[in-house]
Amino acid sequence: MTEKIQELRRLASMEIAAVQDLEDLDNFRIKFLARKGFIAELFDELRSIPSEDRPSSGKALNELRLFVQTLFDQRKRQLGSGSTKRKEMLDLTLPGRARWVGSQHPLTQTLDEIKRIFFRMGFSIATGPEIEDDYHNFEALNFPPDHPARDMQDTFFISEKILLRTHTSPVQIRVMENQQPPVRVIIPGRVYRNETISSRSYCLFHQVEGLYVDKGVSFSELKGTLVTFARQFYGSDLKYRFRPSYFPFTEPSAEMDITCFLCKGRGCRVCKMTGWLEILGCGMVDPNVYKFVGYDPEQYTGYAFGMGIERITMLRYGIDDIRILFENDVRFLRQFS
């Protein structure tokens, strides 16, 4: 039995080399692989050999069939693509067969990188609705009704009390409403501003917000977290500064600037000659906000921060018109493959 298998293996190897066209190939198949072919015959013989030899012979036979089948398949493919004829005049300067190349949108690439850094620092993700109510978008964030701070953000309204969120901060409220401290989340998402569309502003953009509330969280740690983030994102040799600012839902509030990486701080058009680039807003969560979500401001402190993905992406790649990000011209997308 073993000899017959060896013999067939040799025979098949020889004959496959002689196959020149599809007709030859079909003959080969009938001879070896078909129902009444050589291999099938051997399988029939299997019944007549001693039963203790059967498993090993069966295994060898199966391997033979696989081998012959593979010879057949390979030859079939070669004949199919007509390669035998080209063998004599193989022109290797011809281009290879390409595949499609994909790409992630630059905005989601930036967001991915930001998320990765905060994941490593123990933050998890939270999301919330873009269609928001006045309570979550403004009131619970310490923008009282009829407060001038509301003018800082031009709002799209759906109805009197329903609007398109102007920032991702309402998700802070939603998270705290549903969870007791410690809270450590980042909140990515789309936000809307009713502003005239221009190269510098679009009717919508994306933010990543961060929130950390626990016992004994201080401004000093807020700085630490954001500096760690900025060093990982912008490079470890970065210079930074925090300066006072105002957001109704944080107190004290700050803005973080880093040295302009385009002019190395010497001053250029992008940094408006200041040498600094504003990259995010932040602050300690205002005690009024805790009152809205039922946290005890005497027991807990925390910080929040937020940054614009478009702005960061534009600075990073030197994009000077925000609208190109939403045009989705493949000639643009291709650059981020």
Partner 1 sequence: MRISLNWLRKYIDIQISPNDLADRLTMIGFEVENIEHLGAKYDRFVVGEVFEVQKHPNADKLTVCKVGIGTEVLQIVCGAPNVKPFQKVAVGLTGARIPHNQHDPDAKPFFLSQAKIRGVDSYGMICSAFELGIGDDKNGILELAKNAKPGLPLADYLGINDTILEVGITPNRPDAMSHIGIAREIGALLEQKVNTPSTKVKESKKGIGKYASVRVEDKQNCPRYTARVILGVKIASSPEWLKESLNAIGIRPINNVVDITNYVLMECGHPLHAFDYDKLDGHTIVVRLARKNEFFTTLDHKNRELRDDILMVCDAAHPVAIAGIMGGENSEISESTVNVFLESAYFRPQSIRKSAKYFGLSTDASQRFERGADPSITPWAVDRAARLIQDICGGEILRGKIDSYPKKISPRKITLRVGKTNEVLGIRLSAKRISSLLNKLNIEVLKSNSKGISNKSLTFRIPTFRPDIEREIDLIEEVARLHGYNNIETKNFATIQFSEGVPKEDITDIIRKELTGFGMREVVANSMQQKSVASLASDKIVEIANPISKDMSSLRTSLIPGMLSIIRHNIYHGTKNLRLFEIGRVYFHAPGSVDAKMVEGYTEDEHLLLTFTGVAQPLAWDQKPRFVDVFDVKGELQSLFDKISLDKIKYIPYPNTKALTENGLIIEINGEYVGSLGSVRREILDRFEVEQDVFIAELRLDVLSKHVKTIRRDFRALPKYPAVRRDLAVVLDSRVPVGGLEEKIWQSGQPLLTDLELFDIYIGDQIPSGKKSCAFALEFLSEDHTLAQEEVDDVIQNIIDQTSRSFGAEIRK
Task: Print burial letters for 208-233: b (CB count within 10 Å at least 16), e (below 16).
Answer: bbbbbbeeebeeeebbebbeebbebb
Residue 307 forms beta bridges with which residues?
Answer: 208
Rounded-to-integer distance, Cα 154 and Cα 194, Å: 5
Q: Which lies closer to Zn ion via its Cβ, residue 161 or residue 264? A: 264
Q: Which lies closer to Zn ion via its Cβ, residue 208 or residue 271? A: 271
Using an 8 Å Cβ cutoff, are 212 and 225 in contact?
yes
Q: Min. distance of Cβ 266 from Zn ion in angstroms?
A: 7
Rounded-to-integer distance, Cα 5 and Cα 18, Å: 20
Q: Min. distance of Cβ 198 from partner 1 in angstroms?
A: 12
With contacts defined by CB under 8 A, how many residues of the chain interact with partner 1? 96
Contacts of partner 1 in 249-308 (CB under 8 A): 251-255, 272, 284, 286-287, 301
> For partner 1, which residue of 67, 156, 261, 317 counts as binding (CB under 8 A)?
156
Region near partner 1 per CB under 8 A, out of 1-9, 12-20, 100-108, 314-322: 100-108
> For partner 1, which residue of 50, 122, 294, 318 counts as binding (CB under 8 A)?
122
Q: Which lies closer to partner 1 via its Cβ, residue 14 or residue 153? A: 153
Distance of CA 164 to the CA centre of its chain: 25
Using an 8 Å Cβ cutoff, are 183 and 217 in contact?
no
Rounded-to-integer distance, Cα 167 and Cα 187, Å: 10
Contacts of partner 1 in 23-42 (CB under 8 A): none
> For partner 1, which residue of 7, 45, 53, 112 counts as binding (CB under 8 A)?
112
**According to the binding rule CB under 8 A, does residue 67 interact with partner 1?**
no
